[in-house]
A = this chain, B = another copy of it.
């Protein structure tokens, strides 16, 4: 509802030197808040109680300050959310083992990205409203693997974009499953689902999202290699 311009308001916030200027110890009341503390508290709150629990008032309570205090460090709640998503997405690590075929390593690379977002479902939810910037080193690593696979370097960026979008989209759809009235979880892995059929005919179909992910990526890579030869 209230619209604010990104850059302008950000510059009003002074991030770093709270502790140096106030000289109060962190953690207590009047503790010299920092942006980092606020983001960290937001993540803990969000991971613990879900994204709906991430309110300005609740966050302030967790930090033992008044809610208005947060507005000195951040321009708005949206600004906080953006920082949270940026922080989580910066934590993506895709160290793939140097051994194995390029294809296997690329599959691991993409699986690692999916796994990261599955570990942070609340951040994934926030990422819809506040899309993060792609970590550059992650993209670089993925493109290198594509080249190692035999993709012409000029096509690598385009191909990686396809893969990246597919993974992101997949994880989002996968997360939505938990909210779906038509899907119910099955088994203990957290990846098996049964799809309720409303009509009378046909058995309820069951599937595993792990397998679905694997075949999706497999088909894309097969397609890339087929059209490349």
Contacts and interface: CB of A to CB of B under 8 A. Distances in A.
Q: Which 3 A-B pairs have the closest CB atoms?
A: A169-B169, A219-B223, A222-B223
A218 B198 CA distance: 32
Nearest to A175: B128
Nearest to A167: B169
Contacts of A225: 226
A131 B179 contact: yes
Nearest to A169: B169
Size category of the binding interface on chain A: 35 or more
Contacts of A226: 222-223, 225-226
Given A52-B1, A165-B212, A212-B162, A218 B207 contact: no
A155 to B, nearest CB: 10
Contacts of A199: 136
Interface in A101-142: 125, 127-131, 133-134, 136
A168 B130 CA distance: 19
Interface centre among A128, A216, A218, A219 (most CB of B within 10 A): A219
A55 B183 CA distance: 28
Contacts of A198: 133
A128 B131 contact: no
19 contacts: A130-B179, A131-B183, A133-B181, A133-B198, A158-B212, A165-B169, A165-B170, A165-B212, A168-B173, A169-B169, A218-B223, A218-B227, A219-B220, A220-B220, A220-B223, A222-B223, A222-B226, A222-B227, A223-B226
